[in-house]
Chain A
Amino acid sequence: MRIAGLPLLAGLDRRAVTLLALLLIGLLFVPAVAGPYLLSIMILVLYFAYVGQAWNVMMGMAGQLSLGHSLYVGLGAYVAAALFVHAGIGPWIGALAAMAVATLAGAVIGYLAFRFRVGGVYFALLTIAFAEFTRIGFDHMTWLGGSAGLFLPVAQRERNDLWSLRGDPVMFYYVILGMAVTALALCRHLARSRIGFYWRAIREDPVAAEALGIDVFRYKMLAAMASSAMTAPAGVFFAFYYNNLFPEQIFSMLRSIELILGPIIGGLGTLFGPVLGAFVLTILAEALQEALQTLGWQIPGIKQVFYGFCLLLVIVFLPNGIWPPLARRLGLDVR
């Protein structure tokens, strides 16, 4: 049974639409029932779902392993925050500027890498090198706070100001929910259109793709630019939600790795994998930390060790992630 009419849902069967609708309704009501702690975790889940989706465009769809996506998060965060702090420009306009800057960075890195045929592991290293280079550079930019950090004026919590993104966590929750839903819809649209077919062809075999008339360089560039553009708003959100930015943190390689865990654990190249991965990973890790806290153990690093083991187990036993087998069990399309 196919549902026609709504172009966004085209091609989904009734079962999938029902499950998606239930999930969305559930997420819409989270702030009504959740306390501040649970809400903060759900914000984190959706943040990773969003940024994982953005990274997945590059790796999952087009097959280009970037381990430097913290670069685009950081650039997005700093551009919007700097505009806000220094020029009083709000985050929605700031986000456009952030996306422009991140896209430019993605285009430059992509151009250099793809023109000079830097592929595979070398490409991954190149992305790390650019992110680290930028991190150290920002450490020395004193007008952006340097290594001492850039701080946004903290909100007056009388009234939510959506235009300036100053307000309580509930507002941030709905913003990131909107972002995650938009990203999912956008990626679904991309995956089903010409560009998605071309990206997958390039991911599977660039030589064969070229022989089918696909301009590989152009479509790799588009993947790099789309992915970096999508990643930047995550940085804007991060800046306005946490109100402080340190190059050491936001550009760090650990951040880059953290944001790829969701899609890998959920299922590379699938649409729902990044969402599922973000849910499973964040919630399990927080539950673990809670459990340890009630036992009175305060061990720094344990959450990351847990992440590491999750990643290890998934890559060894479920190299395609947890979504494909789950989707088959639910009778849904894997993609």
Chain B
Amino acid sequence: MPLELVLNVAVGGVLTGLVYGLMALGLSVIFGVMRVVNFAHGEMMTIAMYAAVIAFAQWQLDPFLMLLPVAGGLFLFGYALQAGLINPFIARPEHSQFILLVAVAIIMVNGLLMAFGPNARNVLVPYALDSFEFGPLLVDKVRLYAAVASLGLAAALFVFFRGTRTGKAIRAAADNHTGALVVGLNVQRLYALTFGLGSACVGAAGCLMALLIDVTPTLGPVYTLLGFVIVIVGGLGSMAGALLGGVLIGLSEALAGLFLVPSAKSMVSFALLILVLLIRPHGLLGRST
């Protein structure tokens, strides 16, 4: 196999992996702060993808323009979902939370199926087939832009958590729930905000993914699982781990697609998930709590 081909595929995988990372970042933030496992994560991404597809089909709006509006919409959606439905479940047993979100996921997948039918749709921007040449490397334009946008948004989120009062308050609530209550933080609002932010991440990631793959209503569960694979590989609750996990999974998927039958490539992800669950229950960069 020519090295150039491998290299090209690898670079593509890394770039896609950064978008995966942004998606998984949302899952990781939600888990890290609230210890809630968002089982509807991939489904939320699918909703965002449809938003991008519809905006493009109806008004020819470029998904990169839609990035912030869609993220904002998903933020509101996530905020409301947490405040209205999930909050009473924070103190309930783990499996009840899980089942609640499974129910939400089922409704989303099939709601999309009812609304848009089973056929695949896509976004074909005018520059969809353009690419940059870096020596022997041929890099898709959309993929590079999407990766850069993902990195930018992840950095913005990082700055928010490190640099702003609200961000610090959220981290305080994550570290010590009771302590946060004692010092007068409105934990319920912070949780809703966190779920909103996590949803905004996956919303933005959905917008970008719409440029890279076709969207069908049943994409949700696959990407929920992919999200879990990534955050567990990287360490649930670790922001940098989510990005790193995304890159690793993107890369391994791309290479597996090259060396194995393409349809078998997600087998590699699941095998990786099994291994990581067994060997490193806290992932590569996770906290050992």
Give the interface of A toward B (CB within 8 A): 59, 65, 67, 112-113, 116-118, 120-122, 124-126, 128-130, 132-133, 136-137, 139-140, 147, 253-254, 257, 260, 264, 299-305, 307-309, 311-312, 315-316, 319
Contacts and interface: CB of A to CB of B under 8 A. Distances in A.
A120 B35 CA distance: 12
B145 interface: no
A133 B281 contact: no
Interface of B: 37, 85, 88, 92, 94-96, 98-100, 102-107, 109-114, 117-118, 217, 221, 225, 228-229, 232, 261, 263-264, 266-267, 270-271, 273-274, 277-279, 281
Contacts of A125: 228, 232, 273, 277
Given A125-B228, A309-B107, A316-B85, 7 more contacts: A116-B279, A116-B281, A129-B270, A129-B273, A136-B267, A140-B261, A312-B100
5 contacts: A130-B270, A133-B271, A309-B107, A311-B99, A315-B99
Given A112-B278, A125-B232, A311 B106 contact: yes
B40 to A, nearest CB: 10
A115 to B, nearest CB: 9
A132 B113 contact: no
Contacts, number: 118
Nearest to A319: B96
Contacts of A264: 99
Nearest to B271: A133
A301 B107 CA distance: 9
B106 A136 contact: no
B103 A304 contact: no
Contact of B281 (A122, A254, A305, A312): A122
B274 A315 contact: no
A88 B77 CA distance: 55
Contact of B277 (A122, A299, A315): A122
Contacts of A140: 261, 263-264
A302 B107 contact: no
A65 B102 contact: no
A120 B93 CA distance: 10
